[in-house]
Structure 1
Amino acid sequence: MPNFIIKTHQKDTAYKGNQIFILNKGMNSGKPQKEPFTNSFVIICPDEKYAETVYWLAYSLWKSNFWHQFLIGSVIPFLRINDFKKDFEFKVNEMMQEHELHQKQV
């Protein structure tokens, strides 16, 4: 079970702790970054190591164009937060389980 919180980023909001930002508008939707985008979701993680892991999982999903199937809008495509939450949590669980299984086998 993932232990992070996904919210819509509000301009001028200061977050404590470890977080990453995910772009939610345009053809680069799903792109992670450590600094906030204007149109983004924020993923708040409990510690720095977990935030780094989530960042690289989000990066791999973005690089593989995973989020393109969820884009809506005819002029400026965007991701809905509910679609992002549901599918991101599922993919993170799946990838973490595969990683743990790989570590056990090695």
Structure 2
Amino acid sequence: MSTFELKTHKSGRTYSNPHFFILNKGLNSGKPLTNPCPNCFVVTTATEEAKNTLFHLSMMLQIGGFYAYYLKGSVIPFISIDDCRNTLKKGLKSNGNIANQMQKHINAVSVICKKEKELQNVIEKMAVLKVAYIRNCFKVMQTKEA
């Protein structure tokens, strides 16, 4: 079973070990991030493989609503560092019991996330193309008026 360290991220701090961040405030609490933000925890691991496993496990826990159970606060909900740590540990523990099956699920989620990023990139390019087409249309209309 891989070990990890979960701490509160301090702005401007850099980490040498493999790491990722977990959002701790708002309705997306528990969402794993590659880049830090002011309201996040940092998860450091010994290996890149452990980091990837924990990253995707955290994503699965967040999407599955397992972090949402621990949200506190009435205006801006948040998750405590202990609740986040315990949820990740429970997820890893269940991961250890069915390692091969869980690894297949993590790999599938990883592939889906990559495809999702590719599709988001295509959507962004289509939005730029749409704006260019509309601008060209109005440019043609203005030249006909002049």
TM-score relative to the length of structure 1: 0.88
Q: Distance in 2 between matches of 1:71 and 1:20?
A: 21
Q: What does residue 28 of structure 1 align with?
A: 28
Residue identity in the other structure for 1:28: N
Residue identity in the other structure for 2:98: E
TM-score relative to the length of structure 2: 0.65
> 1:2–1:89: 8 Å Cα contact kept in structure 2?
no
Q: Distance in 1 between matches of 2:11 and 2:102?
A: 40
Q: Distance in 1 between matches of 2:16 and 2:47?
A: 11
Q: In the superposition, relative to structure 1, how do residues 63 and 101 fare at CA in structure 2: closer, same or farther (>3 Å)?
A: closer
Say which is worse superposed, 92-101 or 68-77, in terms of deviation. 92-101
Q: What does residue 52 of structure 1 align with?
A: 52
Q: What does residue 6 of structure 1 align with?
A: 6
The ranges of structure 1 where at least 4 consecutive aligned residues each deviate by more than 6 angstroms after the TM superposition are none
Q: CA RMSD in A?
A: 1.7
Q: What does residue 113 of structure 2 align with?
A: none
Q: Distance in 1 between matches of 2:10 and 2:53?
A: 24
Structure ranking higher on relative contact order (CA contacts 8 Å, 6+ apart): 1
Say which is worse superposed, 73-82 or 85-94, in terms of deviation. 85-94
The 3-state SS of whatever aligns with 1:66 is coil
Q: Distance in 1 between matches of 2:10 and 2:19?
A: 14
Q: Distance in 1 between matches of 2:24 and 2:101?
A: 32
Q: In the superposition, relative to structure 1, how do residues 102 and 35 fare at CA in structure 2: closer, same or farther (>3 Å)?
A: closer
Q: Which residues of 2 match residues 1-106 of structure 1 at below 5 A?
A: 1-100=1-100
Aligned length: 103
Structure 1 alignment gaps of length 5 or more: none
Q: In the superposition, relative to structure 1, how do residues 13 and 69 fare at CA in structure 2: closer, same or farther (>3 Å)?
A: same
Give % identity: 35
